[in-house]
Structure 1
């Protein structure tokens, strides 16, 4: 019998204890499915870590790597490279931000680091305002800016970061019971925060256009536009972090386009190459570019705009457009996932909230709908995670690989997911929610 779980003896694992035990060995992938060493196939409901937008083993992306490797594998960022410029032009076109330029990085964390540096250089100010429920990366500035508990072991962080509460109607920090009130009060809270910090000291407000790991929180209509107005009033740079929500995940190229908002800086990664080759970057509006027209920008990296990555990026953008996958994500989200998940909510009392957009959804599980007591702790180190472990195990037994975060099941399948695969996932969720219901105490 093949052992499908193996323990790492040589690899230092990120975000976990090193004696965490054996892990499932993955040996193959195709489309929306991957296989373990024993040949068991799983529907990739998490798109790995929410980046596999075009699925496993996409022929156009593989061909892009081969073609570029035959021509030129690597070139330093100090040289002009055609495929790098081609991808930058495509990104400026789909971003809707108007004229500007693109700084390429190796991933999303570096993108955030450089965007913050740009905002500070452009404004001459130091402070960065960010949501508490947010994640922006793992390096020094990015983890300090992040509002989730992964920040705690890395403190003290970089100076000048101020956190504030964003909208989250289901667990409102503002005692709101509807989206309109939540939006109004969240914007008032941000306005007061800016006032108390001193508008002349604030370089940027950074936010995930749709909050990812911290709950798939879709902001109420009017919130992003309201943040844009506050930033304009005080000369503050608006940075939209699209690392997780970009490239079709919510049915737009970038999630901020859902609300017709134009940020000053856009950070991206993940879906730009479907993770086939690491790549990230910052889309920089023209007025920010002008601040560095004569003054050198103090940043960059050895592999900025790596040609293999950029070639995959060009192919990825082309495939998303050719397959009309933005429309596909919107349609499938509205006609299959949304009604399917809400039907599950009617049958399973453990579902406290259903929220999402496009192919980016969360089920928030509770033990009591009236009190909203979470099925697992919202914060780490509080124990009681066995319930969500049992839910995850049920999903895996039904050949679906989920993303489990705190008391939530996150659903982010590849954009190429079929109607039948969505139905398969909903069926597996139905079984797993029976397990969740067994912990319901109301």
Structure 2
């Protein structure tokens, strides 16, 4: 059972909704225009203009577990959904990827020196960050394939690698990159070969080769890029946690991160359904409103059902993470990562059909919405990997245990939440 919202969450929801009405929605057209004008290596002025207003309203770093309100994953989820209704919103509140995940890594695993140098300015919004994991030369859905190297050399590590779909690297405010590479290739456990290390973006040998458009869009929904690391030297103190702990860090980062992605997508799907309903009720075809066509009503009904199902599953997952941690919630995390992007793709596709040709442009925000949803069927692991994980856990649950032990009486995958 999902607990009731606390008073502070209800209050923050109201403040967020007012901020969205007053500052975000009226500036979306400007945001998209500026995104095209400044390109992937620039900063949209409207984003920086709105940040001081968000801070003044106390709507800053809401995701951060040690922030002003100390919100749990379940507390933050409905707030994240509201932000997800607009591509402009998350960064305005300093709650956008990859910074949120990188800040959580530094918060959980960073040394005091690393927190002082990088976490504090990230929390303050003075800098931005990047995450470099995926590589063009291997199937990176299996992260044990990663070839990039992190080699010890005295009191430094020497880093070599070729990354792409590296989020955040084209941003001129980006100052630090979390880099995943192989530091212990001799380890017999393939999941203990990888490490994560902090690489200053301005370090000699770091080259942002190019920005990479997502479905033709630069910088929205993600600034992704191709980056080369050639004999980059960083101090040993830049290693996060310890050598061979890269997968452990990744799992700690991706659990809450997937909650964030999914709740933002649910917000985007909600906004899309609203747009669809208003559109079909204002357009007439073949002598009656499109909203009176049975196929339209069926799709609206199915969209409402799908959004509600996705939201409940995601909130349940957030609750389990809060209660027993990421590892115990890995089945639920995998399920939302499959269910939510597929739901959003379907709802947005129906809206595009309802809008007709105009839906394929970004005049109504639908094309970019679809790009966001479709990207997330790959980001943080493709559907196929998550489905395989879900199936393996389900098989183990039923094959290796007696029937009475396999019954899920707790609503949390057999783990008391």
TM-score by length of 1: 0.24
Higher helix share: 2
Q: TM (normalized to structure 2)?
A: 0.25
Higher relative contact order (CA 8 A, sep 6+): 1
